[in-house]
């Protein structure tokens, strides 16, 4: 985390007080002290595994999403419709949890399709310097023979 390195630099190199660092960052003085005393580079927050209200319905929702994936765009059910159908089956959770599951399911499905049996995935967008760059140019050449006209040539440079 970049904030920890900034806090350490202000405290150790620039010799700023904990109170002034607290004012600059908006963190409490106790938090600044804790970060300066710890030897870790990045704080680790352990999120406990919690059961979701959606867990009993995951198989049914996954099946519905597989069926919907084969349909055309206008025939597919929306996530709101899928949520309403789950509520009919007894789901008591929120729409947001269903929408998050659908987003994750689509990302996993897309990743699986790109990596299995379909060859190599070639991205169409590259960072500068990642791929070759081709410049197009046009040059004109004139034949020496008097009966012929000028010829336009296109070169890859």
What does the block give as tokens for 37? 């005393």
What does the block give as tokens for 95? 């729409």
**From CA 66, how far away is CA 74, in angstroms rounded?**
16
Domain ranges for the chain: 2-37, 55-115
**From CA 145, how far away is CA 6, in angstroms rounded?**
73
Tens digit of pLDDT for each residue in 83-121? 999 999 999 999 999 999 999 999 998 888 777 665 555
Q: Is the pLDDT of residue 65 over 70?
A: yes
What is the predicted pLDDT for the residue at 94?
Answer: 94
Highest-confidence segment of 24-28, 112-116, 153-157:
24-28
Q: Is the pLDDT of residue 152 over 60?
A: no
Backbone angles phi, psi at 136, to 5 degrees: -95, 140
**pLDDT (average), residues 32-57:** 84
More confident residue, 42 or 37: 37
Q: Tell me what the pLDDT averaged over the chain comes to.
A: 82
**From CA 145, how far away is CA 157, in angstroms rounded?**
27
**pLDDT (average), residues 23-32:** 92
Which is it for the CA torsion 14, 18, 20, 25, positive or negative? positive
């Amino acid at each position: 985390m970049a904030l920890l390195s900034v806090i350490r630099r202000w405290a150790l190199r620039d010799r700023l007080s904990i109170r002034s660092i607290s004012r600059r960052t908006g963190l409490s003085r106790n938090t600044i002290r804790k970060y300066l005393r710890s030897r870790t580079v990045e704080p680790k927050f352990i999120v406990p595994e919690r059961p979701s209200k959606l867990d009993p319905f995951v198989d049914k929702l996954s099946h519905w999403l597989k069926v919907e994936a084969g349909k055309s765009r206008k025939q597919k059910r929306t996530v709101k419709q899928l949520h309403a159908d789950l509520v009919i089956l007894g789901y008591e959770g929120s729409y947001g949890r269903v929408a998050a599951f659908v987003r994750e399911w689509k990302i996993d499905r897309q990743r699986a399709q790109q990596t299995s049996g379909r060859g190599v995935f070639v991205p169409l967008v590259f960072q500068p310097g990642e791929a070759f760059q081709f410049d197009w140019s046009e040059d004109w050449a004139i034949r020496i023979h008097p009966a012929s006209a000028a010829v336009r040539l296109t070169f890859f440079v």
